[in-house]
Structure 1
Amino acid sequence: MFVIMGATGQVGGAALEALKQRGIALRAVARDPVRAQGLGVETLRGDASQTESLAAAFAGAQATFVMLVPPYQARNVLAESRVIARSIAAAVRAAEVPHVVALSSVGAHLSEGNGIVQVLHDFETALADVAPSLVFLRPREFLENWAGMLPVAREAGVLPTGKAALDKRHEAVSALDVGRVAAELLLEPRPGTRIVDLAGPAPYSALDAAAVLSRLLDKPVTAVPSSREQSVVALVAAGLGADYAAKLADLDEAIDAGRLEFPAGGDFRRGMVTLDAVLQRLVGEG
């Protein structure tokens, strides 16, 4: 039995589907089991902040995929996320799960200067030695993050970005690749702790994304830089709390400064899903 957190989301859902295709017995953990009823697997209620319910959902698992979703509206995102991280770690220990794959991020090795990724640094710290076999999967930023900019691209023909240089290509990866690799890693228990770095098939720039959208939307789309203040205002308007929005802006600054790179010599992998494929899917869903 493999247990998957976040199975109703993009990464957890992709991991679940990849494992279903292999005929593996699965259990989905969901805060709202009703929402997960259509997944076609056993579903148990589990809240990341409630250790007891999460430990019950993990009980009997051969392997578990765990993830931490920072509370978007928290007044102090780091502090509230640390509470959740400790809860997940305690649940894994209580259930004595032998093999754990944890979703982290590039830059999680840094204790500061990495924006919202500091949440995942703290998550990794909480999970240290939590299981005999432990993998931290550290992807680059998600290509699906462009989804939030699609409405303004459709309506106004502009593609805002918090990145300073529109032509600078950054590594990014699709959530679908992240889920697929997470599924592969769940099938690879090994003693000790490993780190797996994951990027997409190629780096992309904001200009690349605008060019693809121009073709898909059949109208000119121009990439435009956003100041830190503009980015924070837009993120808050989209429903994020002020602290979370500020830390996302900090993340863009860290990427621009080159602080969010994979350390040399690690287990580095590339996904297969291209920017074109992701934007085509997002445009179709919109």
Structure 2
Amino acid sequence: MKIIVTGSLGHISKPLAQELIAKGHDVTIISSKADKQHAIATLGAKAAIGSVEDVAFLKTTFAGADALYGMTPPNFGATDMIGYYRHIANAYAEAAKSTGLRRIVYLSSYGAHLEKGNGIIRGSYYAEQILNELKDITVSCLRPGYFYYNLYNFLGMIKAQGIIGANFGGDDKLIMVSPLDIATAAAEELTAANAGSNVRYIASDEHTCNEVARLIGEAIGKPGLQWVTFTNEQVKNNMLEHGMPPAIADLLVELGAGIHTGLLGEDYEKHKPTPGKVKLQEFIKAFAAAYNHN
């Protein structure tokens, strides 16, 4: 198969491309950075340098391809974050319709079943709606949980304050996932014979925030490390003090509140997947190494 992979050489896209190439597929990797071209070629893939916001570029790149792994690149500079997600999804859809693409696997998120109450993930909700309207193209929406590497955001807080803190915590459950398990699922969806349109949840492990804090504390030599639950107002004010745009802060606070109430995971609990292979304890080894290095 000829498969297009977006996301450059990111946490998911690189292992995904490696798996597809190892299985004999013809892979083209889209990257916005020309300096990635050599590394992409070294993997055994073709490089397409351009922006996923550029429909003309996408049409040229998609020409003759069988399948697309599509994701929305992070862009915290966007003035309308939800609109940005819609814009990227519309670009994928317009390019796919005119190039004969037959399969799209889109990186969405758990919580994307919701039209409100899910913060930034609302962008994934609208992206799913746009892509699912495509005719004669099968669409798989991957809905992974909370990425392990998001825990790196707490490194500074642990060092400075000796705690982990957010507007979720305590006995709130984290549905966590490794990018490697997402890559495996994406490869399966892209290459499945007679695949139909579907939603696929992806999770590697589940723990309460208290359990995560305990495991991290044991690994970094801080037994008794606590995960403190702050109010929405406290979290928002902290974000604003650090220069985050108010609109982004509101979305992130709403997202955290959705984790706290369990709203984000409601549909996941009805369609729980077989857990992935990469467990939290494995990630925590990398977390501890990063903590001790800095």
Structure 1 length-normalised TM: 0.89
The change in CA–CA distance for 1:238 and 1:22 in structure 2 (over 3 A counts) is farther
- Deviation at residue 123 of structure 1 after TM alignment: 0.4
Q: Does 1:244 align with 2:245?
A: no
Give the letter aligned to residue 218 of structure 2. R
Aligned to 1:79: 83
Identity %: 24
Matched, 1:276 2:287: no
CA RMSD of aligned residues (A): 2.3
Per-residue deviation at 1:270? 1.9
How does 1:42-61 map onto structure 2 within 5 Å? 42-61=46-65
CA contact 1:196–1:269 (8 Å) conserved in 2: no
Write the mapping of 1:4-43 to structure 2, written as runs, cut at 5 A.
4-39=5-40, 40=43, 41-43=45-47
Distance 2:113 2:170 in 1: 27
Task: State how 1:89-108 maps to structure 2 within 5 Å.
Answer: 89-108=93-112
Mapped partners of 2:267, 2:140: distance in 1: 16
Map 1:57-206 to 2 at 5 A. 57-130=61-134, 131-163=136-168, 165-190=169-194, 192-201=196-205, 203-206=206-209
1:230, distance to aligned residue in structure 2 (A)? 3.2
Could you tell me which runs of 5 or more consecutive residues in structure 1 were left unpaired when the two chains were aligned.
none
On the 8 A contact 1:232/1:246 being kept in 2, the answer is: yes
How many residue pairs get aligned? The number is 284
Name the amino acid aligned to 2:75: P
Q: Does the CA contact (< 8 Å) of 2:201 and 2:268 recur in 1?
A: no
Give 1:183 deviation, angstroms. Answer: 1.2
Contact 1:68 1:123 survives alignment (8 Å): no
The verdict on how the C-alpha distance between 1:207 and 1:88 changes in structure 2, with shifts beyond 3 A counting, is same
Which of 140-149 and 223-232 deviates more? 223-232
- What residue number does 1:2 align with? 3
SS in 2 for 1:256: helix
What letter matches 1:218 in structure 2?
A: G
2:150 partner amino acid: N
The answer as to whether partners of 1:197 and 1:262 remain within 8 angstroms in 2 is no
Q: CA contact under 8 A between 1:99 and 1:189: conserved in structure 2?
A: no
CA drift of 1:238 comes to: 6.4
Change in 2 beyond 3 A, CA 1:236/1:47: farther
Tell me how far 1:117 sits from its aligned partner. Answer: 1.0
Other structure's SS at 1:135 match = strand
Matched to 2:287, the amino acid is: L
Matched to 1:13, the amino acid is K
* Matched residue type, 1:219: K
| Runs of 5+ unmatched residues, structure 2 | none
CA distance in 2, matches of 1:234, 1:279: 26
Of the structure 1 ranges 92-101 and 19-28, higher mean CA displacement relative to structure 2 is found in 19-28
Paired residue type of 2:96? V
- What's the offset of the Cα at 1:283? 3.5
Q: 2:235 aligns with which of 226, 231, 234?
A: 231
The structure 1 residue matched to 2:211, chosen from 183, 208, 213, is 208
1:181 maps to amino acid: A
Q: Residue 79 of structure 2 aligns to a residue in which SS?
A: coil
